[in-house]
Amino acid sequence: MKYGNAIFHLEGPRRVKGVRWSQNKELFDCWRNGTTGYPLIDANMKELIATGFMSNRGRQIVCSFLVRDMGIDWRMGAEWFESLLLDYDPCSNYGNWTYGAGVGNDPREDRYFSIPKQAQNYDPDGDYVAHWIPQLANLSKSQRHFPGQAYLKPVVSLKFANSGRPRPESNKLDFSKMEFKSGGNSGGFRGRSRRF
C-alpha cells in the first residue's frame, strides 16, 4: 500500500532512472526454459516449470542472473514467476523482483548473487542440479556446476569473476545492446501480454 502501483513500474518504488534494460526474447527464453548453460540457474527454472515452486534462495539467484548478468527487464521475470508460482502473491513477487533489480528497497545497492558462491554454499555436491538436469548426474560432483563441454555453452558471461570484482567490460554495460551468444529455444513468452 505504501508504494501503490510503483512496484509494477520499470523504475520501481525508488524511481531509479537511466538503466537501459534489454528485452532480448532469445536470452529471456533461455532463462525461462532453463537453458542458460549455468546448471544452478537451469535447475531452478526447470523446478519452477515442473512444480510451480522455487525456494526463496533460488528465486533470488535466478533474479540476480536475469537482471545483473543478462541485463533483461526485471518485469519480464516477475511476470514469468506470476504465471507459474503456486504461492504467487503480488507484493512478495514484485517486491522481491524490484529488490533484486536494484529499483526496490535494499540497504545494499547493486546486490549480486554470485553463481559459483551460491552453488558452493547451497549445493556443494551438485545433487540439486543433478536431480533437475539428469545428464549431470554422471559427472563428478566437482564438475556438476561448471561441466564445460558436457553441458550447454553459457549464453552470457557472468558479470563478476570468482574474485568478486566486476569484469572490466561489465562496468558500463548498455543492456539494450547485448548480443545473444548461442541459438535459443523456440516458443514465445507465455505470461500475460503487458506492454513495457
Distance, in Å, from the CA atom of 146 to the CA atom of 142, rounded to the nearest integer, reads 8
Query: Annotation-wise, does 89 bind a ligand?
Result: yes
Query: Annotation-wise, does 3 bind a ligand?
Result: no
Distance, in Å, from the CA atom of 115 to the CA atom of 90, rounded to the nearest integer, reads 26
Query: Annotation-wise, does 88 bind a ligand?
Result: yes
Q: Tell me the DSSP string of 111-146.
A: ----HHHHHHHH-TT-HHHHHHSGGGTTS-GGGSSS
Long-range pairs, 150-155, Cβ under 8 A, ≥24? 151/37, 151/39, 152/35, 152/36, 152/37, 152/42, 152/182, 153/37, 153/181, 153/182, 154/36, 154/37, 154/38, 154/181, 155/27, 155/30, 155/35, 155/36, 155/37, 155/70, 155/180, 155/181, 155/182, 155/184
Q: Which residues are annotated as a binding site for FAD?
A: 87-89
Q: Which residues are annotated as a binding site?
A: 87-89
